[in-house]
């Protein structure tokens, strides 16, 4: 093999790319992982992991200049001093909006695996059946049983903490002990259970923070600092850096190349196979070709789709995978920012110890079993209870020694939760290329054209009303519902733009995540999703990636690729 030749190329080093690199290299393939951004080395490069608010010039508040430079990021919480530099540069890599779309991207080794919220839930059986039963979009080409062993596999390695609940709506997995609920949450859980006769459950969240050490991976259990997105020096949560990358490197089969913007998949139209990829060196602008037998696209849903659109355009004007007419369509996310908060009386002699990186979860119960609503699908809640800190009622407390003493004591307990709802795959929710606007490397950028529709809007009413109803039923005070509006993308769970399906006419990928028109190209990030469920999706990307990688290696051995 020449220096530019590998068995497999993995594009992107985030959650899914890390898994692809690990699985392919552990199965003996020589793998090249290409990442457009800079390298971030585990522990060594987590430069803010030990800082406190006072270490930042503006105590972690974004400056006006930062807001000017990051017009998208500033729309929500991600813009701050502590994670600054961990988000895609919006000037170098812009996109345009027919309709507002908030795209929160991490362009560096590890991708958003360093920044993610780590909530990790399995899809359930019904999630894979609903499209077909309801006549929505297309049927998934796989069922829960196809993925279940792969969920087991990735959960064991990643380390997911959670409790076994025996609920069909939220299948149990291979869990480490859960992160505990606090005293208020436990009581509220009991009251909700009673009030709703066991149909609604407030349970431990399931998350990729480990509660037991994983010495074989050099990872210590979570130390409860709640600074995960600065990078964890303990390896307390799953990221590419803490888990999949070291495993892949250990095989001696992986080469990681940062600053490598993959611009095209190279395609041989006679053989109907990809032959490799074209890369633009992000620093030198040099164009380089790398050859391989397999190509895994894990650049995150929209970037993998962009890459397909930019490839094989001499054969298909719309790019590789566009023959179905579905490439770039069916954008989904989870809609949220709606729920309720309430005050909790009592418990003033109680406090918590440690800062949890996750709170509680209430799995979906709408349109489940006998429940029927005037919309399809459902939602789950994420929330927590806590005592107010020094931020409480600053404006009301006067000035002087009393204010100072008052703010130094915790306030009363309060509780809040936000619902995450499923968005249906609508064909006209789409992204496409804008050839008028180019990024720093002269490449066309994406246009976003996505909105939520009647089904989601109807669901949002329940998402707010139900939260209030549960808090009322639990006897809480000052219950307040809220809907602070949602713009597509804010869920940071964008997906669906190169969906899996049962035939090449209505989908981009087959049941093994192979591009119908180029079976040695696998897309295993969020682009492949046929529907969204209402649970956070990354665990499912992990399982799909591991499954596809195992299949790809078998197929390669069988000489089919």
Partner 1 sequence: MTTQNNVILNRRSLLKGLGVVLGAQFASQLVGGSGLSVAMAFQQDSALRQLQLLSERQLKTLASMADLIIPQTDTPGALETDCHWFVDNQLKHCFDSDEQAVATVILNKIDTVALGQWGKAFYQGEQAGQLALLTALEATEDPFTQADTKAFKMLKALVVFGFFTSKVGMTQLLAYDPVPGGFKGSVPYASVGKAYSGGYPF
Ligand X SMILES: Cc1cc2nc3c(=O)[nH]c(=O)nc-3n(C[C@H](O)[C@H](O)[C@H](O)COP(=O)(O)OP(=O)(O)OC[C@H]3O[C@@H](n4cnc5c(N)ncnc54)[C@H](O)[C@@H]3O)c2cc1C
The residues that touch partner 1, with contacts defined as CB under 8 A, are 50-55, 57-65, 179-183, 185-186, 213, 215, 218-221, 223-227, 233-235, 348-359, 384, 386-387, 389-390, 394-395, 398-401, 403-405, 407-411
Check binding of 112 to ligand SF4 (CB under 6 A). no
* Residue 51 interacting entry, from ligand SF4, ligand X, partner 1, none, C-beta within 5 to 8 Å by type: partner 1
**Interaction between residue 358 and ligand SF4 (CB under 6 A):** no
Q: Determine contact, residues 248/110, Cβ cutoff 8 Å.
A: no
State the Cα–Cα distance between residues 163 and 165, nearest whole angstrom. 6
Output the smallest distance, CB 551 to ligand X, in A: 18
* Nearest residue to 174 via CA among 214, 129, 218: 214
- Taking the C-alpha atoms of residue 30 and residue 5, their distance in angstroms, rounded to an integer, is 9
Tokens read off for 376:
């399809």
Q: Which of 232, 301, 331, 549 binds ligand SF4 (CB under 6 A)?
A: 232
Smallest gap from residue 154 Cβ to ligand SF4 (A): 18
46 binds ligand SF4 (CB under 6 A): no
Q: How far is the CB of 277 from ligand X (least distance, A)?
A: 8
CA 506 to chain centre: 25
Question: H or E stretch including 518?
Answer: strand 518-523
Stretch that binds ligand X, among 105-113, 198-206, 464-472, 497-505 (CB under 6 A): 105-113
Coil, strand or helix at 84: coil
Whether the CB-CB separation of 204 and 180 falls below 8 Å is answered with: yes
Considering CB distances under 5 to 8 angstroms, the limit depending on partner class, which of ligand SF4, ligand X, partner 1, none binds residue 351?
A: partner 1
Over the window 148 to 187, marking each residue x when it contacts ligand X by CB under 6 A and - when it does not, the resulting string is ----------------------------------------
Task: Report the nearest approach of ligand SF4 to the CB of residue 162 (Å).
Answer: 15
| Burial class of residue 357 in the structure, from the number of CB atoms within 10 Å of its CB (0-12 exposed, 13-18 middle, 19+ buried) | buried
Q: Is 179 in the site for ligand SF4 (CB under 6 A)?
A: no
Query: What's the closest the beta carbon of residue 32 comes to ligand X, in angstroms?
Result: 11
In eight-state DSSP terms, residue 214 is: B
Phi and psi at 287, nearest 5°, equal -100, 125
Segments of 114-259 assigned E as strands = 160-161, 175-176, 203-204, 254-257
Q: Is 488 in contact with 425 (CB distance < 8 Å)?
A: no
Q: How far apart are CA 64 and CA 377, in angstroms?
A: 41
Helix or strand run (H / E) with residue 446: strand 444-449
Q: Which does 236 bind (CB under 5 to 8 A by kind): ligand SF4, ligand X, partner 1, none?
A: ligand SF4
Q: Which residues contact ligand SF4 (rule: CB under 6 A)? A: 209, 222-228, 232, 234, 236-237, 357
Q: Which residues contribute to the site for ligand X (CB under 6 A)?
A: 11-17, 34-37, 104, 106-107, 111-113, 115-119, 260-262, 298-300, 303, 307, 492-493, 525-526, 536-538, 541
């Amino acid at each position: 093999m020449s220096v530019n030749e590998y068995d497999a190329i993995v594009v992107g080093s985030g959650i899914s790319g890390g898994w692809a690199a690990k699985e392919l290299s552990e199965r003996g393939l020589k793998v090249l992982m290409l990442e457009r951004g800079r390298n971030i080395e585990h522990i060594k490069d987590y430069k803010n992991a030990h800082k406190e608010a006072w270490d930042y010039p503006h105590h972690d508040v974004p400056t006006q200049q930062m807001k000017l430079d990051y017009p998208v990021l500033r729309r929500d919480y991600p813009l701050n001093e502590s994670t600054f530099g961990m988000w895609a540069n919006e000037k170098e890599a812009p996109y345009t909006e027919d309709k507002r779309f908030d795209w929160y991207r991490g362009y560096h080794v590890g991708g958003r695996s360093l920044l993610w919220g780590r909530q990790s839930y399995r899809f359930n059986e019904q999630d894979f059946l609903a499209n077909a039963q309801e006549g929505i979009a297309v049927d998934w080409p796989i069922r829960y049983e196809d993925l279940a062993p792969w969920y087991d596999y990735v959960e064991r390695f990643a380390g997911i903490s959670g409790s076994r609940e025996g609920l069909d709506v939220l299948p149990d997995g291979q869990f480490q002990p859960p992160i505990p609920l606090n005293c208020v949450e436990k009581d509220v859980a009991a009251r909700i259970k009673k009030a709703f006769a066991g149909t609604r459950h407030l349970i431990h969240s399931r998350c990729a923070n480990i509660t037991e050490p994983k010495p074989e991976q050099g990872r210590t259990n979570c130390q409860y600092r709640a600074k995960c997105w600065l990078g964890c020096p303990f390896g307390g949560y799953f990221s590419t850096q803490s888990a999949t990358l070291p495993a892949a490197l250990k095989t001696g089969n992986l080469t990681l190349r940062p600053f490598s913007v993959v611009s095209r998949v190279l395609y041989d139209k006679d053989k109907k196979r990809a032959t490799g990829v074209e890369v633009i060196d992000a620093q030198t602008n040099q164009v380089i070709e790398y050859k391989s037998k397999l190509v895994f696209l894990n650049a995150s849903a929209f970037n993998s789709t962009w890459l397909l659109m930019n490839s094989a355009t001499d054969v298909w004007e719309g790019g590789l995978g566009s023959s179905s007419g579905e490439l770039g369509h069916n954008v989904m996310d989870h809609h949220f920012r709606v729920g309720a908060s309430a005050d909790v009386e009592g418990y003033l002699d109680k406090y918590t110890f440690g800062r949890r990186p996750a709170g509680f979860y209430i799995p979906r119960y709408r349109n489940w079993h006998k429940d029927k609503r005037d919309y399809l699908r459902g939602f789950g809640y994420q929330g927590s209870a806590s005592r107010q800190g020094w931020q409480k009622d600053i404006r009301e407390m006067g000035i002087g020694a009393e204010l100072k003493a008052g703010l130094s004591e915790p306030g009363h307990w309060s509780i809040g939760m936000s619902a995450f709802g499923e968005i249906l795959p609508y064909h006209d929710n789409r992204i496409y290329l804008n050839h008028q606007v180019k990024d720093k490397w002269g490449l066309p950028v994406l246009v976003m054209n996505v909105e939520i529709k009647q089904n989601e809007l109807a669901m949002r009413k329940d998402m707010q009303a139900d939260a209030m109803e549960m808090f009322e039923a639990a006897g809480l005070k000052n219950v307040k519902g809220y809907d602070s509006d949602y713009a597509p993308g804010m869920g940071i769970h964008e997906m669906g733009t190169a969906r899996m399906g049962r035939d090449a006419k209505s989908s981009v990928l087959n049941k093994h995540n192979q591009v119908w028109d180029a079976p040695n190209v696998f897309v295993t990030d969020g682009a492949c999703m046929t529907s969204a469920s209402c649970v956070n999706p990354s665990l499912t990307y992990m399982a799909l990636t591991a499954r596809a990688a195992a299949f790809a290696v078998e197929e390669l051995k069988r000489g089919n690729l």
